[in-house]
Amino acid sequence: MQNFRVVVMGTGGVGKSSIISKFMNDKFTEVHKETIEELHRHQMRFDSGSVEIDILDTAGSLQFPAMRKLAIATGDAFFLVFSANNPESFEIVKHLRDEIKEQKQKGQYSIVVVANKTDLDIEENHSHAVTESVVCMDWEEKFITTSAKTGDNIECVFQALEDKIRERMVNL
């Protein structure tokens, strides 16, 4: 069976683990559990057969450049997650995106940019995080706003991944 690895990246607390948990188990918890590094396995069915999806939930270790490099090297796709009420978390996504583009060859990876926590009231002084995220629209990547809490658009993130895999299969 073909295998495809998704690396979920973004600074701590933006909701990476929550997005995965909501998608895999339809569960959301308010309690923030520090993730070490977790691998989740999911299967997607395509006309030409099933693909095994390994979803790597990353955590603090990715602050080390060498660890980031390794995660980027092994990933076929990347979910770059930030929190809609946190401008700094969007800056991190920009940096991660630059690093991926520097390290990988075009056509060898897919990126989905995710603005999470859209259920929160975005205060005036934070609203530029979302405005800024419109920058993503100019990026060639897919941009999706989600809430792991309400489940809003969580399916869309994985649907986008499915579409990207399908595109890649055609190109093989």
Positions that interact with ligand GDP (CB under 6 A): 10, 12-18, 29-30, 32, 35, 116-117, 119-120, 147-149
Give the three-class secondary structure for 13: coil
- The distance of closest approach from Cβ of residue 70 to ligand GDP in the complex, given in angstroms and rounded to an integer, is 19
Q: Which does 97 bind (CB under 5 to 8 A by kind): Mg ion, ligand GDP, none?
A: none
2 near Mg ion, judged by CB under 5 A: no
Type of residue numbered 46: F
Q: In what order do the strands lie in the sheet with 2-9?
A: 38-46, 49-57, 2-9, 77-83, 110-116, 142-145
Least separation in angstroms between residue 58's CB and Mg ion is: 8
Return the closest-CA partner of residue 32 out of 21, 46, 47.
21
19-38 residues near Mg ion, rule: CB under 5 A: 35
Per CB under 5 A, 58 contacts Mg ion: no
Which one of Mg ion, ligand GDP, none is in contact with 120 (Cβ closer than 5 to 8 A by kind)?
A: ligand GDP
Query: DSSP string of 37-81?
Result: -EEEEEEEEETTEEEEEEEEE--GGGGSHHHHHHHHHH-SEEEEE
Question: For binding to Mg ion (CB under 5 A), which residues are involved?
Answer: 16-17, 35
